[in-house]
Amino acid sequence: MIETFYDVMRRQGITRRSFLKYCSLTAAAMGLGPEFVGKIAYAMENKPRIPVLWLHGLECTCCSESFIRSAHPLAKDVILSMISLDYDDTIMAAAGHQAEAIIEETIEKHKGNFILACEGNPGLDEGATGGMSCIIGGKPYTEQLRHAAKNAKAIISWGSCASWGCVQAAHPNPTGATPIHKVPDIGNAPIIKVPGCPPIAEVMTAVITYMLTFEKLPSLDRQGRPKMFYSQRIHDKCYRRGHFDAGQFVEKWDDDAARQGHCLYKMGCKGPTTYNACSTIRWNGGLSFPIQAGHPCIGCSEDGFWDKGGFYNRLSNINQFGIESNADTVGIGSAAVVGGAVAAHAAVSALKRSQQKGGQE
């Protein structure tokens, strides 16, 4: 019999009082009413822990770094114990063949019942790197991923790497880094994208908690992201929104507007085009988030955020028209060409007409 979450918590010396506090805070984080606290507590007390395989492909481990900092009460200690995290090479004690053997063992024992958490993505380009850009235990990561994915109940794509491709997939993408949902022959397990570089710790833990509590996937948007955290843009709930509507913008890093905390729109803030929960849940236990610290949002949870030109430019670069060009430089250029052509044509027309008139007289 696999232990329940509650058993694990008690074994780790967590009081029932703290446990119930955790349940109510989790319910609040997921936007649920107070009546769900009992449901969460019941689930935690009675449901067996779900085994999780946490595989790492091409990535920087910032997702793991974020996850272990979940400042949600107890999450730091408990979520890791709550789920039966059978394999996570970054934080597991086992190493080498023993560690690798666990993957096989989990897949055998919990076929179709474990959650596959993917951090990072595989490099599929056989040409440039011979498919050798990510080798784990002597085998390409792609093989390990496919094998686990086909036997998983559900896949969580942690972070922008697994969700969109992230920096390693930036142009020209030498390794052919490919997000999980685009990997061919990946099987049919549902994929939940939790983008961000990294995703917010509390978002990560809440997604897992939701799946454990209700034994189903959270409601996803069309792009596969949980609606409860990715249905609004940073801009929609930004505490500096009032300055945006007023037309008060930071123009330079050291100007008076910057000191007064005005809107960072002109400094390239991607808040208006970025779906994430940073402006509501914030980071480091709700302490702050990039805009609050005076830096524009770089849009790290959006597809292709790395290839849109400077983080500090409002308009995206359109490199097809030369470095540093954007919609306005292209547009003003075209309008000038058309305007010039029109003026020249008008001049010739007038000339021809006067010639004709002269000829007629």
- Single residue of 19, 87, 114, 265 touching another protein by CB under 8 A: 265
Residue 272 binds another protein, judged by CB under 8 A? yes
Cβ nearer to another protein, comparing 90 with 232 = 232
CB of 115: closest distance to another protein in angstroms?
25
Cβ nearer to another protein, comparing 174 with 309 = 309
Binding marks (x or -) toward another protein, 180..199, rule CB under 8 A? --------------------
Q: How far are the Cα atoms of 63, 228, 251, 281 from residue 261, in angstroms, in the given order?
A: 29, 28, 12, 20
Cβ nearer to another protein, comparing 6 with 244 = 244
Residue 246 binds another protein, judged by CB under 8 A? yes
| Nearest alpha carbon to residue 180 among 131, 139, 112, 122 | 122
Phi-psi map region of 61: left, alpha, beta (phi>0 left; psi -120 to 50 alpha): left
Residue 288 binds another protein, judged by CB under 8 A? no
Which 3 state secondary structure label does DSSP give 345?
helix
Residue 294 binds another protein, judged by CB under 8 A? no
- Single residue of 47, 69, 76, 227 touching another protein by CB under 8 A: 227
Q: How many CA atoms lie within 13 A of 331 on its CB side?
A: 5
Residue 347 binds another protein, judged by CB under 8 A? no
Q: What is the distance of C-alpha 45 from the center of its chain?
A: 31
Residue 318 binds another protein, judged by CB under 8 A? yes
Which 3 state secondary structure label does DSSP give 80?
helix
Cβ nearer to another protein, comparing 4 with 316 = 316
Residue 171 binds another protein, judged by CB under 8 A? no
Q: Are strands 139-140 and 135-136 parallel, antiparallel or unpaired?
A: antiparallel
State the Cα–Cα distance between residues 199 and 86, nearest whole angstrom: 22
Query: Helices 141-151 and 96-109: crossing angle, nearest 10°?
Result: 30
- Single residue of 18, 24, 232, 280 touching another protein by CB under 8 A: 232
CB of 265: closest distance to another protein in angstroms?
7
Burial class (CB in 10 A: 0-12, 13-18, 19+), 90: middle
CB of 345: closest distance to another protein in angstroms?
7
- Single residue of 249, 283, 289, 306 touching another protein by CB under 8 A: 249
Residue 315 binds another protein, judged by CB under 8 A? yes
- Single residue of 215, 328, 347, 354 touching another protein by CB under 8 A: 328
Cβ nearer to another protein, comparing 71 with 258 = 258
State the Cα–Cα distance between residues 3 and 290, nearest whole angstrom: 39
Peptide bond before 48: cis, by omega within 30 degrees of 0?
Answer: no
Sign of CA dihedral 163, 40, 214, 233: negative
- Single residue of 183, 262, 278, 306 touching another protein by CB under 8 A: 262
Q: 219: part of which helix (H) or strand (E)?
A: none
Cβ nearer to another protein, comparing 51 with 195 = 195
- Single residue of 105, 331, 347, 354 touching another protein by CB under 8 A: 331
State the Cα–Cα distance between residues 129 and 175, nearest whole angstrom: 6
Q: How far are the Cα atoms of 42, 122, 177, 316, 320 from residue 172, in angstroms, in the given order?
A: 50, 16, 10, 18, 14
Cβ nearer to another protein, comparing 215 with 255 = 255
Residue 287 binds another protein, judged by CB under 8 A? no
In the range 110-169, which residues lie near another protein by CB under 8 A?
none
Sign of CA dihedral 304, 310, 313, 317: negative
Residues contributing to the site for another protein (CB under 8 A): 221-223, 227, 231-233, 236, 242-251, 257, 262, 265-266, 270, 272-275, 299, 302-305, 308, 314-316, 318, 326-328, 330-332, 334-335, 338-339, 342, 345-346, 348-349, 352-353
